[in-house]
Amino acid sequence: MNVMVVVPTYNERDNLPVLAQGILAHEGFRLLVVDDGSPDGTGQIADDLAAAHPGRVEVLHRTGPRGLGRSYIEGLQRALSTNAELILQMDADLSHDPQYLPALAAAAQHYDVVIGSRYLQGVSVVNWPLHRIFLSAFANRYIRMVTGLSPRDCTSGFRCWRRETLARIPLNRVFSGGYAFLVEMLFHAARDGSRIGEVPIIFVERRQGESKVSSTVLLESLITPWRLRLSSRR
């Protein structure tokens, strides 16, 4: 198997080495870190990992304004420029357990994009306060209602793309930054007729480092579904 896992990082120095070990334990899986000039030195840790695992770990150092959406775009485009058959994306904060990687890759035999889903068997989230569970559940209902998307978990950042499916997404035209970016990508995939699958994961809230979710990102998540709906009418 020829798989590239794209991981955006911002201040994940304690988490990245653990994550890298989990990813590299799977044969045929490579790691691409997209670091946004993390002040805590995550970029250097990523470079050390690349030196220790030549050919299996690569690092993209971004400069200029930081952003999750922009990092994904650059990372996914870089992954597409390699010969990877499957391209995965996941968070660095150990919320997404690398043990699920083979299951996501296997499901991509039958689907064009596979989501590591928190909401297939009830709610499989560890260490979230109640209000966070409600917010996320509400967000997913809202997104499904406004956009017509059908997956249970439209905001999960744990995904596996077949390369040809990802290549058809107009990454340069994607406009959102945070979670909304993930919704937008799914929207394009669905409109393109891609088969979207989901496999259950247990999501564990981060233990180390800080969350980067801001109110701007949340506001964008409210607006984006409408923007997508209206743009597809035109």
Where do contacts with ligand GTP occur on this chain (CB under 6 A)? 8-10, 12, 34-36, 66-68, 71, 91-93, 95, 205-206, 211-213
3-class DSSP assignment, residue 66: coil
Per the listing, tokens 């949340």 go with 218
**What span, in angstroms and rounded, lies between the C-alpha atoms of 161 and 167?**
9
What is the nearest approach in angstroms of ligand GTP to the Cβ of residue 125?
Answer: 10
Q: Cβ-closest residue to ligand GTP?
A: 211
58 binds, among ligand GTP, Mg ion, none (CB under 5 to 8 A by kind): none
Cα dihedral 8/13/217/68 (nearest 10): -20
Q: How far is the CB of 153 from Mg ion (least distance, A)?
A: 14
Task: State the nearest-atom distance from the C-beta of 232 to ligand GTP, in Å.
Answer: 26
Q: How many helices (H) and strands (E) does the chain have?
A: 8, 9
Min separation Cβ 45 and ligand GTP, Å: 12
From Mg ion, ligand GTP, none, which one binds at residue 9 (CB under 5 to 8 Å depending on kind)? ligand GTP
Q: How far out from the chain centre does Cα 149 lie? A: 17
Q: Which of 56, 206 has the CB closer to Mg ion? A: 206
Q: What does 36 bind: ligand GTP, Mg ion, none (CB cut-off 5 to 8 Å by kind)?
A: ligand GTP
The pair phi, psi for residue 44, each rounded to 5°, is -70, -40
**Closer CB to ligand GTP, 93 or 153, in the complex:** 93
Looking at beta carbons only, is 91 or 153 nearer to Mg ion?
Answer: 91
- The contact set with Mg ion (CB under 5 A) reads 91, 93, 95, 206
Residues 6+ apart with CB under 8 A from 59: 32, 33, 35, 43, 46, 47, 49, 50
Max Cα distance, the chain (Å): 51
Give the CB-nearest residue to Mg ion.
93
Alpha helices (H) along 113-214: 130-147, 163-167, 179-191
- State which H helix or E strand residue 58 sits in: strand 57-61
Q: Give the nearest distance from C-beta 205 to Mg ion in angstroms.
A: 7
Instruction: Give whichever of 15 and 147 is closer to ligand GTP, judged by the CB atom.
Output: 15
Binding partner of residue 213 among Mg ion, ligand GTP, none, CB cut-off 5 to 8 Å per kind: ligand GTP
What does 144 interact with, of ligand GTP, Mg ion, none (CB < 5 to 8 A by kind)?
A: none
Q: Which does 165 bind (CB under 5 to 8 A by kind): Mg ion, ligand GTP, none?
A: none
Please state the closest distance from residue 233 (CB atom) to ligand GTP, in A: 30
**What one-character-per-residue DSSP string does 5-44 give?**
EEEEESS-TTTHHHHHHHHHTSTTEEEEEEE---TTSHHH
